[in-house]
Structure formats: structure tokens, C-alpha cells
Amino acid sequence: MQKVCIVGASGKLGQYMVGHALDRGYEVVGVCREESVGKLDAFKGRISIVPGATDDREVIRSAVAGCDGVLVVLVPWGVHHYASGTAQAVLDHAPPGARLVFSTGWYPSRDGKDVYPWSVKAKVLLGWLARLARVVDLGDQVEATRRVFASDTLWTVVRGSDLEEGKSQGLPVWSRHVGDPILESNLTRRVDFALFMVAALENDELIHEAPAIVGRLTPSALAFEAQTVEARS
Ligand SMILES: NC(=O)c1ccc[n+]([C@@H]2O[C@H](COP(=O)([O-])OP(=O)(O)OC[C@H]3O[C@@H](n4cnc5c(N)ncnc54)[C@H](OP(=O)(O)O)[C@@H]3O)[C@@H](O)[C@H]2O)c1
């Protein structure tokens, strides 16, 4: 992996991903809205920036050219298919063979086997109310992931739990289905969500997977690890 594009680089998750990608020595191209370019000043001179809407196909086409990996923040803002437009532009224009890693929340399900806790269901309900207010469109984020799951590119969809700020606790742990006991704590440090995204670029076991992640030091992750160790001894 030498050159990566980060689509949605100026957000909180995006900026952490830029930092991790630079730490690994990758050449970084960031895409963000024109009015947000200043949020990337801390990286001035170390990354190149293609300003523009992330669902603008021309912006994406020029940003992903020559990249071995593309990290994509799928956001549900607005009601104009921003997330699905972003995903489609990346699927259509990323160079063949590039690793594509998309971020979303826990709620898009790949196979319908996720069992959501009430806290996630409540958020989804709030999301549908926000759709009525034309602020957020969770359905479009689901549509974006549906298109990714159906594509024959080398994709991974990383499904993040609730997020918090704080120092890194290391690479989060993951499971295929929300509802699996290891995920019960439903909390990940944002810096570690970004770490998982960047690490996924070079982890072939995650190709065509939709890992749901949780912080490795959360009670549910630690309890699962203790049970596994006990079962082995
Ligand atoms: N936040 C959570 O609790 C949570 C939980 C699970 C998963 N996730 C996932 O994590 C990812 C991003 O989270 P985050 O914490 O980094 O959020 P964030 O800092 O709020 O970033 C969100 C992104 O949305 C863009 N954005 C904001 N307003 C917009 C608008 N009106 N139109 C178009 N784009 C707009 C931002 O671009 P600008 O910089 O240009 O404003 C930025 O790239 C998403 O994939 C989300 O589904 C979040």
C-alpha cells in the first residue's frame, strides 16, 4: 500500500485516519468540502487535498486516480443521496484492485442477522424522525452499503459502535453480527475506529466482510477474551 485516498478527510474520523495513514508512511490524498479545507491545516504540506462534495463523481475520479486504497466516510447528512452518491462514485472510479474501506454505524445489516439493542433501535427511530425534518437520511446510508455489498470490488464495510474521544486503546475487536456478546458494551474510541479502518487496508481477511467493532478494553470485549482463555485451558 503506497497511496491512499481519504474521502471525508476533514471530519473527526477523517482527521484521525489521515494521521494513522501518514504514520504508516502512505502518500495521502484527502477529499473534503471546499468550506472544510481549513480543518486540515495541521497536515499542510504533508497531504494533497481535492476540495469538493464527496458525491461529485469528477472530484472522486481525480482524487482516487493511482490509489491502492480508498477510505470512505459515509455520512447520512441531507436528503439528496449524499452517502449512496459517494459510495457509487468510489465504486465506479477506484482503480481496479484497490482496497476500499467504508465507514458506517452499526445499523446497516449485511445479512439481516444482526440483533440490535434498544439503544441502537432508539437512534434509528430518531434518525427516521430526522429524515422527516430533512436533516439526516439513514435509509440512504443503508442504500450506500447495499451497493457496496453488491459490488465485486475489494470492499470492507466497518460498522462503528457509539464513539467517544480519548487516547487509543489499540485495535478494536470485531464480530460479524450486532447482538454477539463481545459487542455488548457498544463503545469505541474514535481514534481506534480510524485505526481499524486504516489497518483494514492491509488485512485481506476483512475483504468482503462487514465487521461490527467495539473497543478492545470495553467490559464486553474483556469478558469475551477471558471466556476464550478459560475455554482453552
Ligand atoms: N458519531 C458517532 O457516534 C458514530 C457512531 C458510529 C458510526 N459513526 C460513523 O462514523 C463516521 C463519521 O463520524 P464522525 O464522528 O467523524 O463525524 P463528523 O466529524 O461529524 O464527520 C462527519 C462528516 O460529515 C461531513 N458533513 C457534515 N455536515 C455535512 C453536510 N451538511 N453535508 C455533507 N457532509 C457533511 C463532514 O464534512 P465537513 O468536514 O466538510 O463538515 C465530515 O466529513 C460515519 O461513517 C458515521 O456513520 C459515527
Q: How many domains does the chain have?
A: 1
pTM (two decimals): 0.95
- What's the 3 CA to ligand 1 centre distance in angstroms? 23
Residue from 12, 13, 164 whose mutation best tests the ligand 1 pocket (most atoms within 8 A of CB):
13
CA distances from 113 to 19, 177, 184, 209 (A): 34, 7, 16, 14
CB 134 within 8 A of CB 230: no
Spatial separation of the C-alpha atoms in residues 194 and 171, rounded to whole Å:
9
Reported as a single tens digit per residue, the pLDDT across 145-198 is 999 999 999 999 999 999 999 999 999 999 999 999 999 999 999 999 999 999
Indicate which atom in ligand 1 lies nearest the CA of residue 159: 7
196 alpha carbon to ligand 1 midpoint, in Å? 17
Mutate to test the pocket of ligand 1, among 15, 75, 187 (most ligand atoms within 8 A of CB): 75
Q: CA quadruple 84, 44, 171, 200: dihedral positive or negative?
A: positive
Q: Whose CA is nearest to atom 46 of ligand 1?
A: 104
Domain of 97, CATH number, reads 3.40.50.720
pLDDT of residue 78: 66
Atom index in ligand 1 nearest the CA of residue 141 equals 47
Domain of 165 in residue numbering reads as 3-232
Nearest residue CA, atom 1 of ligand 1?
163
pLDDT tens for each residue of the chain, 233 residues long: 999 999 999 999 999 999 999 999 999 999 999 999 999 999 999 999 999 999 999 999 999 999 999 999 998 776 688 999 999 999 999 999 999 999 999 889 999 999 998 888 888 778 777 776 666 677 888 999 999 999 999 999 999 999 999 999 999 999 999 999 999 999 999 999 999 999 999 999 999 999 999 999 999 999 998 988 888 88
Nearest to residue 71, comparing CAs of 156, 143, 152? 156
**Residue 86 vs residues 11, 98, 140, 213: alpha-carbon distances, Å:** 15, 16, 11, 23
